[in-house]
Amino acid sequence: MIAHLRHLTRLAGRGHSRLASSASTSYLIDQPEYGFLKELGLEINNPGVYSGQWQGRGPTITSYDPGTGQAIATVRQGTVQELQQAIGLGVEAYKQWRQVPAPVRGEIVRQIGDELRKYKEPLGKLVSLEVGKIYSEGQGEVQEFIDICDYAVGLSRIYSGQLINSERADHTILEAWRPLGLVGVISAYNFPNAVFGWNAAIALTTGNSVLWKGAPSTPLVSVATTKIVAEVLRRNNLPPVVTLCQGGTDVGQSLVSDKRVNLVSFTGSCKTGQDVGVEVQRRFGKVILELGGNNALIIDSSANLKMALDAALFGCIGTSGQRCTTTRRIIVHEQLHDQFVTSLVAKYKQLIPKIGHQLDGQTLVGPVHTQQNVDSYKTAIEEAKALGGTVAFGGKVLERSGYYVEPTVITGLPHDASVVHRETFAPIVYVLKAKSVDEAISWNNEVEQGLSSAIFTENISQAFKWIGARGSDCGIVNINTTTNGAEIGGAFGGEKATGGGRESGSDAWKQYCKRATITVNHSGELACAQGVVFNVE
């Protein structure tokens, strides 16, 4: 904490950009309390491209601590040409990898999980430092990667096709799942480690190679994570079945439009995701889109209010409102609305002393990631006020170095106000008053996005309506728990403008495969399907 206060004093009044700054800059990596960065093999200047060797001939980018605004270290990004090389190497590596038996591929993924266990503490701290999420969330993010590795190891021995009854005598129909080839992963800043992990563990297990482009503002997590994976590949004398090319939009666009990338798994905003989806479809590639959300928590008149309040607190404020599954709207039954708002505001007040640097053990609310998040926070609050909303709590940017805003509760807006329908990546929640669960469900469903949703109810009829065909239209439809914090065992993703993709558990592995339908004729005679006769003597 003392170190962080020192940074705050040192940085007071300074402006910060993400461009590489002058040689006189002092970097956190040089300070003893950030020794964990060196444990991860990071240096002041790190190459941001891995394709069997480390390199990086593109612009150098500085990574900043959102909690102080101070530079952490720098990364030399890749060029489009380096991306092309990485694609070529990834395609070649795939040709070897696809021949490795699936359980042996699973064994490699098991080793990746074990290597991550060794580095969980420093890597989790780096995730916290670079994104701005609190210590336990940084550790939890790496844990997700470890968990999906365990899941993938099991999957490697059990994923399978099926045998289907044929209508023709002595014919058998088989269904088999084959790898696609090279899978490109483009990830967002808010989950810089786990999103790659979800994709890579399953894609590798099913026989694909993986090329990753992480977000430009979290390049150190990308480099440190890839170093951990690369060490496992090196120990096993494997070709670069995982490659990395850090870069900006030019590198991202080039990856998306390249026909050699068989599947693009894109996580990011709806707007960029739509462009990515159209471009990949244009070349008949496959795409997984994991885009924005505008997630609602519904509180029915029968709800357990204490539990609902706790769910709202973590749902709205966890990761300072920067999860795709963050609770952005709370739709409360009119009988409970006023009582709920009063209790929620009382809880929010208790969090004010808990706003602080993300690596301080006392902190529950860290900074938002960049000035852009602060600006969109301010814009949303001004717009909400102009539309007649009341700021029931918060609403201010904190006057200190780093990017700190007050968690904010806004009431009194119409359910369909423009600002309510927009995803603002900051800790703002709009509380809406509904007459019934039916009305609440229709409001839940009226936004463009369809990622996560939850209802608090003790009424079994309302609960089953919620999960039925007339209920929530989201990919995640929870009862009596939060909208955020999904487990890896289920398929993760959402409908409508969230993109329709699914990652992680359940049968999401099928998206990393092509399906082969195989008809085997063991009758000794040729017979057409549907009784068609087509022959000449």
The answer to whether 211 contacts ligand NAD (rule: CB under 6 A) is no
Least CB distance to ligand NAD at residue 322 (A):
7
Among 194, 324, 454, 476, binds ligand NAD (CB under 6 A): 324
**CB 371, min distance to ligand NAD, A:** 13
| Contact (Cβ atoms closer than 8 angstroms) between residue 68 and residue 4 | yes
Residue 515 identity = R
Beta strands 408-411 and 428-434 are parallel
Site string for ligand NAD, 283-302 (x = CB under 6 A): -------xxxx---------
Residue whose CB is less far from ligand NAD, 109 or 291: 291
- Counting Cβ atoms within 10 Å, is residue 124 exposed (0-12), middle (13-18) or buried (19+)? buried
DSSP three-state, residue 299: strand
- The distance of closest approach from Cβ of residue 449 to ligand NAD in the complex, given in angstroms and rounded to an integer, is 8
Given 253, 327, 411, 482, the residue binding ligand NAD (CB under 6 A): 253
Return the residue of 243, 272, 376, 408 that touches ligand NAD, per CB under 6 A.
Answer: 272
Mapped onto helix, strand or coil, the DSSP state of residue 71 is strand
Contact indicator for 324, 290 with CB cutoff of 8 Å:
yes
Measure the CA angle with vertex 515, ends 514 and 517; round to 5°: 150
Closer CB to ligand NAD, 196 or 443, in the complex: 196
Integer-rounded Cα Rg, in Å, for the chain is 25
Nearer to ligand NAD, 239 or 500 (CB): 500
- The reply on whether position 252 binds ligand NAD by CB under 6 A is yes
**Per CB under 6 A, which region of 49-57, 265-273, 407-415, 463-471 contacts ligand NAD?**
265-273
Q: Which helix (H) or strand (E) holds 155?
A: helix 135-158
Question: Which residue type occupies 440?
Answer: A
Q: Work out the angle between the directed axes of helices 194-205 and 219-235 (0-180°, nearest 10).
A: 30
Report the distance separating Cα 392 and Cα 412, nearest Å.
9
Q: Residue 186 or 419: which CB sits closer to ligand NAD?
A: 186
Q: Give Cα 360 to chain centroid, integer Å.
A: 24
d(CA 290, CA 255): 17
Backbone angles phi, psi at 521, to 5 degrees: -95, 110
Amino acid at 332: V
Identified binder of ligand NAD from the candidate list 68, 74, 222, 267, rule CB under 6 A: 267
CB of 335 to ligand NAD, least distance (A): 32
Whether the CB-CB separation of 176 and 161 falls below 8 Å is answered with yes
Q: Is 240 in the site for ligand NAD (CB under 6 A)?
A: no
* 105 versus 213: smaller Cβ distance to ligand NAD: 213
b/e burial code for range 87-111 (CB count within 10 A of at least 16 → b): bebbbebbeebbebebeebbebbbb
Task: List the interface residues with ligand NAD, window 468-507 (CB under 6 A).
Answer: 498
Contact 356, 134 (CB under 8 A): no
From CA 221, how far away is CA 218, in angstroms rounded? 6
Is there a contact between 245 and 49 (Cβ–Cβ < 8 Å)?
Answer: yes
Q: How many residues sit close enough to ligand NAD to count as binding (CB under 6 A)?
A: 29
Instruction: Note whether 249 binds ligand NAD by CB under 6 A.
Output: yes
Q: Report which residue's Cβ sits closest to ligand NAD.
A: 252
- Which CB atom, from 141 or from 290, has the smaller least distance to ligand NAD? 290
Q: Which residue of 58, 197, 216, 395 would you call a contact of ligand NAD, by CB under 6 A?
A: 216
Contact 46, 78 (CB under 8 A): no
* Least distance CB 289 / ligand NAD (angstroms): 8
Residue with tokens 């996580």: 267
User: In this chain, which stretch among 105-113, 222-230, 249-257, 523-531 interacts with ligand NAD, using CB under 6 A?
Assistant: 249-257
Binding-site member from 177, 403, 425, 430 for ligand NAD (CB under 6 A): 425
Give the chain's count of helices (H) and strands (E).
15, 24
Strands 495-496 vs 449-450: parallel, antiparallel or unpaired: antiparallel
Q: Which of 131, 232, 242, 276 binds ligand NAD (CB under 6 A)?
A: 276
Shortest spacing between CB 458 and ligand NAD, in angstroms: 30
Residue 48 as a binder of ligand NAD (CB under 6 A): the answer is: no
Judged by CB under 6 A, the stretch of 99-107, 118-126, 212-220, 509-517 that binds ligand NAD is 212-220
Angle at 104 between CA 263 and CA 182, to 5 degrees: 15
Return the number of the residue (277 or 407) whose C-beta is nearest ligand NAD.
277
CA–CA dist 507, 144 (Å, integer): 18
CB closer to ligand NAD out of 276 and 392: 276
Per-residue contact flags (x/-) with ligand NAD for residues 182 to 201, judged by CB under 6 A: ----xxxxxx----------
Which residues are known catalytic residues?
Answer: 290, 324
Nearest approach, Cβ of 423 to ligand NAD (angstroms)? 6
Residues in contact with ligand NAD, shown as a per-residue x/- string from 441 to 470 under the rule CB under 6 A: ----------x-------------------
Instruction: Report the interface residues with ligand NAD, using CB under 6 A.
Output: 186-191, 213, 215-216, 248-249, 252-253, 256, 267-269, 272, 275-276, 290-293, 324, 423, 425, 451, 498
